[in-house]
Chains A and B, each alone.
Chain A
Amino acid sequence: MRCDFADLLLHSYFDSELSSVDAEKFGRHVERCADCGSELVNLDLLRDRLQLAEIYEAAPASLRRKISAEIRPTAQTTPKSQPLLWHWLAAAAALFLVAIVLLRMSPGLRNDDYQAELAAEIVDAHLRSLQPGDVTGIASNDERAVKGWFDTKIKFALPVHDFTNHGFGLKGGRLELLEGRSVAALVYERNGRLINVFVWPTPGPDKSPRTGSQRGFQWVDWRQDKMEFCAVSDTDPADLEQLRQLIHSNT
């Protein structure tokens, strides 16, 4: 039925994917070969049918709206409902991962492996954040309630304080699984912006604070009393330092 010569070459010819030399050669073949000639006509008919039927499906307006809403600057929107809050916090956690990875990296090591690893971790964290049910936490400004919630879940004495009087309102806490271990995350709000304070036990000695920034997020990291603290936010670095001092003197 079909010419043996045809198949792949025929399709490449039809799709203008042959080099000019090969196309010319095949063009001469088609002139002599009735099978290939009729096959080309069929391919043309099929392409016309697909084009004429207008089966291309453009994106619905709702998709464009959702994307625009997501990439809009978030400063003016304050998360109110709880699922949204967790969603937000988990997204912040993804950025925390950026900070953590950067802490362990010297600048010279920015290679593809690192990019891939980082990307994978961020995707995982983000995927978790898309499933509010999977991010367990407590939303409360009551330090005793938050501490009580953590006490049943972590094996170290997490200092939990509400610093509303100093402008850092306690919003709650949750657990994050980072690099295979459970990490406590305390959430504060400062002028409508959220600050995550990640805390995990460490055998190391106390260490003075180190600061940095990544993608518009600031972080400050320090060790005290066998715990490592890392506060991350997009607030003013001075705010982070103030919160660090409050935590430091109350721990």
Chain B
Amino acid sequence: MSELDPEDRERFEQLVLPHVDAAFNLARWLLRRREDAEDVAQEALLRACRFIRGFHGGNARAWVLQIVRNTCYTWLEKNRPMELSVEFDEEVHQQSDATPESLAIAGDERERLTRALEMLPPRYREVLVLRELEGCSYKEIAGITSIPIGTVMSSLSRARRQLCAVLDGSPGEEANREM
């Protein structure tokens, strides 16, 4: 990166650095692999650094997460386009370790929840992660994901229903049909 203006660096440290965990967590759940998440979160954070002058106050976390989210989707489009085109697809299950079978035999609760979340389509996964793990308001989620607030509500309700269905051990088909 080119040399940073001291003022920009200070702004970056104050506004963006407090949200490095949030940035990584969102990338980790969108991309499902820690190694990829680390690379993409880094790219996104450095992008936030370059554009720090474009941030005119307001909600810094939402601003950072919006950049992370966009960077993740660009990365997915390039590297794993299949994941964005399918809603709830067997192939995606096979790409990740998450299958209904593996879920059933998953050792502990943390692993079970992780796999269940990873089985959801990215659009549902992200609203759940933003709401339940990051504690974002609907308005924040709408801003981060660039989807209307009504769609945030319906996605969240479907995402929760699907997650429950997966956790209850129902096969993915059923969860899908319920939508």
Contact = CB atoms under 8 A, between A and B. Distances in A.
B50 A55 contact: no
Interface in B47-61: 47, 49-51, 54
B160 A67 contact: no
B150 to A, nearest CB: 8
Contacts of B14: none
Contact of A7 (B38, B46, B110, B157): B157
B120 interface: no
B160 A43 contact: yes
Contacts, number: 115
Given A57-B28, A60-B24, A71 B4 contact: yes
Contacts of A12: 138, 153
Summarize A's interface: helix, strand, loop or mixed.
helix
Contacts of B150: 8
B117 interface: yes
Contacts of A50: 113, 132-133
Contact of A64 (B20, B43, B138, B164): B20
Contact of A71 (B9, B21, B156): B9
A74 interface: yes
A138 to B, nearest CB: 22
Given A71-B1, A94-B2, A123-B47, A60 B38 contact: yes
A17 B20 contact: no
Nearest to B157: A11
Given A57-B24, A67-B17, A67-B46, A42 B131 contact: no
A58 B153 contact: no
A220 to B, nearest CB: 18
B154 interface: yes
A178 B23 CA distance: 32
Contacts of B28: 57
A66 B42 contact: yes
A92 B2 contact: yes
A58 B42 contact: no
A11 B154 CA distance: 9
A119 interface: yes
B3 A234 contact: yes
A243 interface: no
A3 to B, nearest CB: 13
B102 interface: no
14 contacts: A8-B153, A15-B131, A17-B138, A47-B132, A49-B113, A56-B25, A59-B38, A63-B20, A63-B24, A70-B1, A70-B46, A70-B49, A71-B12, A217-B2
Interface of A: 7-8, 10-12, 15, 17, 42-43, 46-47, 49-60, 62-64, 66-67, 70-71, 73-75, 88, 91-92, 94-95, 115, 119, 122-123, 126, 130, 215-217, 234
